[in-house]
Amino acid sequence: MRESLSRMVIMAEMHGRDLVRRHIAIALLVALPMSFYLSSVGEGRDAVGTGGVAMAFAVGGATVFSALSSSEVDHRLVLSGYRPHELLVGRLLFLCPFGIVLSGLFTALMAPISHPDNPGVLLLGVSAVAAIAVPFGIAVAAIVPRELEATLVLIGVVGIQLAVSHTSTVAKLLPFYGARLLIDTGLAGHGPILWPLIEGAMYAVALLALARVFIGPRLSIRTAARRGG
């Protein structure tokens, strides 16, 4: 158990080191949701919802890239003794806090401009978008393990979530619905908090389970081969 945790922590550390050295990518991660927000800020408070959900483009995109660019390394890591779920959790351990920090910065930018009634819940909502975007990106990369196709799926799902009214049935089936409701609650100062959180958490768990199903066979060691490198 301790060994397994230690392997997850090392994976998180190395994913972090690899990502924070990509300065242009980091700048784009911040700029992407911000540009969505700033381009629609003149249309009133809806801009907060648009910018908040657009956080999924940034964090989900970073996750898809992280997962797909390391698929060759993942094979060798499993051969050296890592278990597939340790690679998955290691990625989560870095990307979730990273996304939540981005959400904090982004909310701090939006709050003085859009004056949400409950900035704390707004932060919770934007953070929930980031936190769900990580398992979503991992699941997309697991199911569609090619960069172009995976990116198109990401753009499609987040784009639909942004485009459709959040009262529509389609919106309710998409992964960021609960987080979007939290953002609305943060803006209005009233509305549901607990069940959108539970819904988001359940979606995240389901996405991770789905990713594990697809990643497992791809990364399993098939012969009597044991630890090596």
Partner 1 sequence: MPPDELVVEGVCKRYRRATVLDRVSLSVTAGEVVALTGENGAGKSTLMRICAGLLPADAGEVRVAGAVGYCPQTPGLFELLTADEHLVMFGRGLGLGRATALRRGHDLLDEFGFPVGARVVTAEMSGGTRQKLNLAIALLGNPGLLLLDEPYQGFDRGTYVNFWDHCRAWSRQGKAVVVVTHMLAELSRADRVVELPSHPSLERP
- Check binding of 193 to partner 1 (CB under 8 A): no
22 binds partner 1 (CB under 8 A): yes
Span near partner 1 by CB under 8 A; candidates 31-39, 116-124, 127-135, 220-228: 220-228
125-156 in b/e form (b: 16+ CB < 10 A) is bbbbbbbbbbbbbbbbbbbbbeeeebbebbee
In the complex, minimum distance from the CB of residue 185 to partner 1, in angstroms, rounded to a whole number: 39
Q: Look at the alpha carbons of 87, 151, 102, 118 in this order and tell me if their dihedral is positive or negative.
A: negative
Cβ burial, residue 24 (10 Å; 0-12/13-18/19+): exposed
Q: Binder to partner 1 among 18, 210, 214, 216 (CB under 8 A)?
A: 18
CA distance 176 to 129: 6
Residue 6 found at the interface with partner 1 (CB under 8 A): yes
Residue closer to partner 1 (CB basis): 194 or 224: 224
Nearer to partner 1, 42 or 222 (CB): 222
Residue 51: partners with Cβ closer than 8 Å, 6 or more residues away: 33, 34, 36, 37, 38, 40, 106, 110
d(CA 35, CA 28): 10
Pick one of 10, 157, 160, 210: the residue that binds partner 1 (CB under 8 A).
Answer: 10
21 is a contact residue toward partner 1 (CB under 8 A): yes
Contact status: 223 vs partner 1 (CB under 8 A) = yes
For partner 1, the binding residues in 118-157 under the rule CB under 8 A are: none
> Binding to partner 1 (CB under 8 A): which residues in 34-93?
69-70, 72-73, 75-77, 79-82
Instruction: Closer to partner 1 by CB, 7 or 180: give it.
Output: 7
Any residues with CB less than 8 A from the CB of 108 and at least 6 apart, and which? Answer: none
Chain residues binding partner 1 by CB under 8 A are 3, 6-7, 10-11, 14, 17-18, 21-22, 69-70, 72-73, 75-77, 79-82, 221-229
